Amino acid sequence: MSRKLLVVLVLFAGLVAAPGWGQEHAKKRLVVHEWGTFTSVVGADGTMLEWKPLIGSDLPKFVYRRATAEATPEQWREEKKDLPSFQRMETPVLYFYADQEMDVKVEVGFPKGLITEWYPRVRDFMPRLGDGKKALPVKDGWVRWGKVRIIPQDEITPRLSTEGESNHYYHARETDSAYVRVCPVEQDHQKTEYEKFLFYRGVGNFALPLDVKTKAGGNVTVSNPTATAFSHIFVITIKPDGKGKYQFIPKIAAGGSKEVHLDVTENWLSREMLIRRIGEELEECLTMEGLYRKEAKAMVKTWTDSYFETPGTRVLYLLPEKMTQELLPLKVDPQPTELKRVLVARVDVMTPEQTAAVEELVRELGSESITVREAAEKKLAVYGRFAEPALTEAVRTSTDPEIRSRAKKVIAQLVVRR
């Protein structure tokens, strides 16, 4: 071996062994994972229903809302419940994993929607409320956190914001993700915020790919009109007493459909058994799609009450990551070495039985008996945030003019009371 070649090899070996080259290069690893839900409501014939939840935020008060992020109190309002839309984008969280502290820049777009809540604070968001006199267009939304410091959790134990004894928001923290630190523009470190993820929510106007229809007797048809196969589909029905049943569909091919019969008369699972079985299956599906086990557990725990306990019939399925990126374009700089985005599409469908029951409640709300009216109000309250779309479906499909008229009045009353 020549002396010149030997010198080159020695120098190269020294560079690889030095902490300033090989080891440092290996540490520059950034993993980003995300989960969340899109929720929509459809009639028995698959028609999408525009709706408002008609309730205030179910999030801790430290979470930022567009209204409280504006400059003037005159413009403050709990705007999300005032915005009719076809989709509620609920609880997407972005987790970060890194081998060393690093700064990243993060921006999320929502071309067909509006981002309404977030935490920690963002540097900027659009569109603004304006003068508060005109309804916001539900489109062209985005938020930009700017520079976010990623800190591995074994390097720091910050105090995270809390409020009250419990909130489903906190379940998302039960992972091994790094902490994120966001400082205000003015560098007032008294206002520095820490969290285990970046959180955001919103509303949107668009149709998701699978069509869901239902007929009397527990018959549900899920159709895939797209050129993409869909996997991990759950068809669920839950009674007001908490008992329920479900069927898992591993895959629906492009252009295919699947008919499911959930007998509404027998073989109901107890609430506890339903939650355990379907929760375990959904957790496995989420991990198969790339989430870490603790992330999948956190998502299932966050949505157990809404997915598996709220009465009604619904379909859950996982969106292809390409579709998620189109709906919610995400920019992370530097580019992650691994990026997994797993969003669940949730479609609540009004069955013929439900619509008939709502029509009867509307009829009872017009009773001369106070006892009958109060009982009907309590039964309608069981629908929670889905009360408005349930009434809207009655207006849309009832053949009784009196029912349609009274249902419209009830909707107006719900809006005033919210």
Q: What is the pLDDT of residue 95?
A: 98
Specify the residue for token string 């492009």: 254
β-pairing verdict for 338-349 and 312-318: antiparallel
Q: What is the pLDDT of residue 71?
A: 43
Strand (E) or helix (H) holding 92: strand 87-98
- pTM comes to 0.88
List of residues 6+ apart from 125 with CB closer than 8 A: 66, 69, 115, 118, 141, 142, 143, 144
Where residue 20 falls among pLDDT bands split at 50, 70, 90?
Answer: very low
46-50, 343-347, 404-408, 410-414: segment of lowest average pLDDT: 410-414
Euclidean distance between CA atoms 37 and 80, whole angstroms: 16
Q: What is the DSSP string of 294-316?
A: HHHHHHHHHHHIIIIISSEEEEE
- Phi and psi at 286, nearest 5°, equal -65, -40
Alpha-carbon torsion, ordered 267, 240, 270, 44, to 10 deg: 50
Euclidean distance between CA atoms 290 and 139, whole angstroms: 29
Strand (E) or helix (H) holding 277: helix 271-288
Q: Give residue-wise pLDDT tens across range 339-383.
A: 999 999 999 999 999 999 999 999 999 999 999 999 999 999 888
Q: Give residue-wise pLDDT tens across range 242-277.
A: 899 999 999 999 999 999 999 878 889 999 999 999
Percent of the chain at pLDDT exceeding 90: 67
Q: Give residue-wise pLDDT tens across range 297-306.
A: 999 999 998 8
Is the pLDDT score of 1 beyond 70? Answer: no
Q: Give residue-wise pLDDT tens across range 218-243.
A: 999 999 999 999 999 999 999 888 89
- Yes or no: say if 373 and 361 are a contact pair by the CB < 8 Å rule: no
